[in-house]
Every structure is written in structure tokens, then in C-alpha cells.
Amino acid sequence: MEGNEERWRRHALLVDNVEHRYGDRQALRGLRLEVSAGELFAILGPNGSGKSTLFRLISTLVPVQAGEIAVFGHRLPGAQHLVRQLLGVVFQSPSLDPKLTVRENLRCGGVLYGLRGAPLQARIQEVAEQLGVADRMNDMVETLSGGLKRRVELAKGILHRPRLLLMDEPSTGLDPAARIDMWRALKELQKSQRMTIVLTTHLLEEADRADRLAIMHEGRTVAVGAPGELRRELGDQVLTIRPPLPEVERWLADRGIEARCVDDEIRVTGHDVANLVPALAEQFGRQIQALSVGQPSLEDVFIARTGHRYWADRAETPAA
């Protein structure tokens, strides 16, 4: 990969063997990632997986310690100024001033990007109409709903027509309807502007909306691909058996069926695994408390690649 200039240039984002440490703790471990121009790409991972560190490195908030990152061929470390001109960044924490109007917030953001006068006013009007906030320009930001605030954040982030839009946990604090609204806006930006969008998220259902995603675990990517393709690699069904009886595991192993014991259940993925249910029920009767069959999810992909659940404690799983 080193020295391959064409490869660096043809990707919107290229992460090559990046490592990062906070004192004795290693947050990223030889991370590699490729994002093509025009993609809507999600970086999915539970808390502590390293996705927030990666976001800070790409957005140039912290310097690259080892390895390289390139945004449309401009490499970090070394080309921070050029990379910043290509980026639009929407942070997880609100960056709007609640005591200013929507227009005033956008004007302040535009000035920071070097826009002035009539071109700035025209661009403010353009992004306001594009993101459906043109009728709220004179409203104080503190009076807006969470979904509208996020739209204004997004408008501010694209004022300077960035080639790559970075978003950190974009649906934080939004209700389900506002999340759907935000995703509709992102898809429209991708389609109409050919904008490359990279976002971090810990929400499985959110990453499922992306064109492609990278699943992170302990500073590494454990799976990269389109959501549907990653699920199909597991087969078309997942069978769960509770409790995780050793004799059930042996019964499956004797038949050459690969199973994985995860916490309080046995999981079997593949094609037509529902056909195992009658035989299991007949063989083990009341020893089995529950049998269920469903379609593989991104959590099943995570389990298959890491050996444990996406959420360490299921009680902590946020509502969809």
C-alpha cells in the first residue's frame, strides 16, 4: 500500500495501519479502512471500540500517531490544512448557540469557513431550503425541536460545500421520527450533491441504513461490507436455544452443525436451521425452555466475528 499514489487519490477516505494510544491504553490497533467517493459509510461499534478516536483523527482534532489517513489523496499527518478544507464536521455535542437565531448561527458558521457578503447570504438560503429550515430562519435555536436543531447543525456543516461530511453519533437525543427525518436529509444530500458521508454510531439499526459499514471491536475492524451482504454471509436464519445445555451443544456437534454459546443461549446460523427445531424438541423435551428462529441481524454478524454480544449488558441496550 505504501507509495501507491493512485490508490490514495481514488478513495474519499483511506485509513492505513493506524494506531493510537492514550497512555498505556491502545485505542486503535493497525486499523485499515477504505471509503469510496459518494458512499454513505457507517462506522459501527459499542462504547470503547475506538470509533470516536477514529473520528477525532479524521477530523484533525488530534494528530495521527502511527500509520496514515488520506482524504481525497491529502495525507495525515502533514496536510491538515488541506484536509480541513475538504471536510464538513457535525459533532455529537451541539455546536449551535441557543440564544441566536437559525440565520445568525449559519452566518457565524459561514464566516468561520471564510464566506462573506452576498455569496454567504445566497449559500445560507440555499442550504436552508435544501434542509427544510428556510421557514425557521428567524427563530431562536432554543425554541427548535431536536430534529430541527440537527438539521441546522447539518446545514452549518455543508455551507462550504465539503467533499466529505463527517458526523459523530448524529442521532443522539433524537426521537424515532426525527431520526427518520435526519436520514432522509442525508440520503438527499448524498444523491443531489454526490457528497461522501461518513458517520459513527453505536446503534445497529442506524448502521443498517448505510451503503456500507465497518464494525469495530477493541480498536480493529472485524467486518466491512454492505449490511445485507454481511448478514447473508451467515445464512438466511438464526436459531437460538435456551438454556445453553452442554448436551445440546454435543448433539449439534455430532451432526457437524457449528454452534456458538453466547451468554444464556446457543446460537446456530445458516440455511434452513429451522428444520432442527422438531428434532431438538423431540430429543430434549422440557430441558429446552425456548427455541426461536429469525433472520440474521448485524448483532449476529458482531457475535460471529467476536464471540460475544454487541451489548455487554442487554439491559443497557438503547431503545430503537
The Cα-based distances of 55 to 130, 160, 207, 303, 309 in angstroms read 26, 20, 16, 24, 24
**Residue 4: predicted pLDDT:** 59
**Residue 27: predicted pLDDT:** 95
**Residue 320: predicted pLDDT:** 34
CA distance 37 to 14: 11
**Residue 311: predicted pLDDT:** 77
Are 276 and 251 in contact by the 8 Å Cβ rule? The answer is no
- At 17, list the grid cell: 495501519
Q: Where are the beta strands (DSSP E) in the chain?
A: 11-22, 25-36, 40-44, 66-71, 74-76, 87-90, 164-168, 196-201, 212-217, 220-225, 237-242, 260-262, 265-270, 290-294
Whether the link from the prior residue into 77 is cis, omega within 30° of 0, is yes
Note the pTM of the prediction, 2 decimals: 0.87
pLDDT, tens only, 120-179? 999 999 999 988 899 999 999 999 998 899 899 999 999 999 999 999 998 877 888 888
Residues of the chain with confidence (pLDDT) below 70: 1-9, 312-320
Domains annotated for the chain, with CATH where assigned, are: 5-228 (3.40.50.300), 235-295 (3.30.70.790)
Helical segments of 11-145, H only: 51-58, 80-86, 102-112, 117-130
Go through the chain and tell me how many residues it has. Answer: 320
Amino acid identity for residue 312 in this structure: A
**Residue 8: predicted pLDDT:** 66
Instruction: Please work out, in degrees rounded to the nearest 5, the angle formed at the alpha carbon of residue 238 by the alpha carbons of 237 and 242.
Output: 150
**Residue 312: predicted pLDDT:** 58
**Residue 241: predicted pLDDT:** 95
- At 123, list the grid cell: 449559500
pLDDT, tens only, 92-125? 888 899 999 999 999 999 999 889 999 999 999 9
